Structure 1
Amino acid sequence: MLDTQETNPSAAPKRPQFRVPEIFRHSHSLLALETTRNGGVGTGPYSSLNLGTNTDDNPDSVRRNTELLFNEAGIDSSRTVRSQQVHGTEILHATSPGALQGYDAFITDTENLFLLIATADCYPILLFDPLNRAVAAIHAGWKGTAGHIAPQTVESMRRAFGTRPETLLASIGTGISGEAYEVSLDVAKQFPASCILPPATKGAGPRLDLGAANRMQLEEAGVSSASIESSPFCSFRDTGSFFSHRRDNGITGRMLSIIGLNQSGGNPL
């Protein structure tokens, strides 16, 4: 079962449901979470907690869902950083709030600044350096993963904050599982053979385990395997809990993964 906030079925709108990665649950003055598709407001393919600003959903519903989530989690809406992601490898050292363009990862050691990553099959990766009190949020689709965005972000934290990879805590959040992610041969060739699964059926393409690829890259960057948590869920297969761009033919919502140094408290229970 998902480890989420409880909702009141009779409430309208419903409380947003999200999961707190276990690896961060007891970290002092840190907020980290991953939303599901449940709670909030919304209908049709965007039902119901769509937080994507680049979808065809009613913008008022997205704004309301964002407001509900931030209120539930204790996030100041004026202290967030997000970007229109482009499936690249650009990393921003964020020092102030903003709605930006072209970044797929953020790092910061600024207190009460919350980093937001939107996904609906791509992998959200959250990093926490407890010694230097710094965090990162990464959007890792196949292009970003092929470009080694996760280890590049670890290196950015090392340069900016003195982060030692072996002290990092990492959460690889919910994305499309290898069993469900058919790709072309050209895409598959960009990844190690250990991350490639055989075709599900005759005539189909190979399948790519993006979660495993990102775990491998983090470990190669020096992050301890024991300090990396991988979500057990699949955005494609867990239909009732997550949006999936591939499953829903692009007409779907987005989840948010959020991390920030939180002076006023820790993770929402």
Structure 2
Amino acid sequence: MTTHSEMPEKPLYRAPGIFLQFPNLIAAESTRHGGVSEGAYASLNLGGSTLDKPENVAENVRRFFNALQVPLERVAKSHQIHGDAILKVTEPGRFETFDALITGKPDVQLAVTIADCTPILIFDPVHNAVAAIHAGWRGTVKHIVQKTVAALQKEYGTVPEHCYAYVGTCIDECSFEVGEEVAEHFESAYKRADETSGKYFIDLKLANRDQLIHAGLKNENIEVSAFSTVLNNSDYFSYRHEKGVTGRMLATIGMKTHDL
């Protein structure tokens, strides 16, 4: 399933269509449009670890969450290390070394940073629990998505088949060329050999979608982004395509209460 809501021509964000049926859920993925950053970071760079001016990043973050009507003091983020550590978030804030965040608290808006790696957002509408996952190739081979679904089950009683999920915009298979040292970690279903170069192409979207299915989610409850950070580089930042000098996007999910 690949659908997106109707948005203006150069939106600050795109809202996954799979979540639009839930009016009290805020879920979105930023683009590179609508910010104040310049040059390689133009324009909505949301990455604080870049060499962009901090005041520009701060303004961009304000604009993004303002567009979603989310107060900044309700955002929870973590410095990501391409691992498989999962944090149960009980209060908003800035955390360290976690690549997946889960919460059952309303008005705590989870966010992960991306610029080629795969963001995955999950919503359990029965127990009102959400997850935001950052899955690069290392996190993918460590099965961070399946581990996060297991964490939702343990912490909130989540039944996977009741969940909805979005596999977000990342580097697509045709652009993610790797050597044997990376390819060897992936099953054959997720890698394609290039006999001319001796390299491989890895499909992160498919690998993470399948992890959701293996964890128990229904295929019809999963949306996969139609976009690519490389092929659609005019709309998204790509660390690889732009040789490391570029901005970052955010993928975010959270439940709101009626006082927002």
Aligned mate of 2:16, from 21, 25, 35: 21
Q: Percent identity?
A: 40
In the superposition, the TM-score normalised over structure 2's length comes to 0.95
For 2:98, the equivalent position in structure 1 comes to: 103
Give every structure 1 segment of 4 or more consecutive aligned residues whose post-TM-superposition deviation is greater than 2 Å.
Answer: 1-7
Among candidates 180, 183, 193, match of residue 185 of structure 1: 180
1:209 equivalent in structure 2:
203
Match of 1:6 among 5, 8, 26: 8
CA contact (8 A) 2:117 2:170 kept: yes
Cα deviation code 1:201-232 (max 9, x no counterpart): 72251010011000111111111111110001
Matched with 2:127 is 132
- Aligned to 1:252, the other structure's residue is in SS state coil
CA 1:2/1:164 → structure 2, altered by over 3 Å: closer, same or farther?
closer
Gaps of at least 5 residues in structure 2 are none
1:222 counterpart = 2:224:
no
CA RMSD of aligned residues (A): 1.7
Partner of 1:232: 226
Aligned position for 1:35: 30
Question: Which one-letter code corresponds to 1:79 in the other structure?
Answer: R
Aligned 8 A contact 2:4 2:17 in 1: no
Answer yes or no: is 1:82 the counterpart of 2:82: no
Instruction: State the Cα deviation string for residues 37-68 of structure 1 (Å, max 9, x = none).
Output: 01111111100000001101011110000111
Q: Quick check: 1:105–1:139 contact (8 Å CA) kept in 2? A: yes
> Kindly tell me: are residues 164 and 2 of structure 1, through their superposed partners in 2, closer, same or farther at Cα, counting changes over 3 Å?
closer
The equivalent residue for 2:254 is 260
Aligned length: 258
2:6, 2:21 → 1: CA distance? 16
The answer to whether the Cα contact below 8 Å between 1:29 and 1:265 also exists between their aligned partners in 2 is: no
Q: 1:67 to 1:264 in 2, by over 3 A?
A: same
In 2, Cα distance between equivalents of 1:175 and 1:205: 20
Cα drift, residue 170 of structure 1: 0.4
The answer on whether the counterparts of 1:16 and 1:40 sit within 8 Å (CA) in structure 2 is no
Q: Are 1:120 and 2:115 counterparts?
A: yes
Counterpart for residue 87 of structure 2 = 92
Distance change >3 Å, CA 101–CA 4, structure 1 → 2: farther
Q: CA deviation at 1:260?
A: 0.3
- What secondary structure is seen at the aligned counterpart in 1 of 2:63? helix
Q: Which runs of 5+ in 1 are unaligned?
A: 8-14
